[in-house]
Amino acid sequence: MTKRHISSKIGRFFNVFGSAVAVASATRIGHQPVASDLRALGIDPAQFNSIHRN
Q: Is residue 21 part of a domain?
A: yes
CA pair distance 12, 47, nearest whole angstrom: 24
Q: Is residue 54 part of a domain?
A: no
**SS3 per-residue string spanning 1-54:** CCHHHHHHHHHHHHHHHHHHHHHHHHHHCCCCCCHHHHHHCCCCHHHHHCCCCC
Domain that holds residue 35: 3-49
Q: Dihedral sign, CA of 35, 40, 46, 52?
A: negative
Residue 1 has pLDDT above 70, yes or no: no
pLDDT tens figures, 2-35 = 778 889 999 999 999 999 999 999 999 999 999 9
CA pair distance 51, 48, nearest whole angstrom: 6
Total domains in the fold of the chain = 1
Predicted confidence band at 44 (pLDDT cuts at 50, 70, 90)? very high
Q: Mean pLDDT across the stretch 50-54?
A: 75
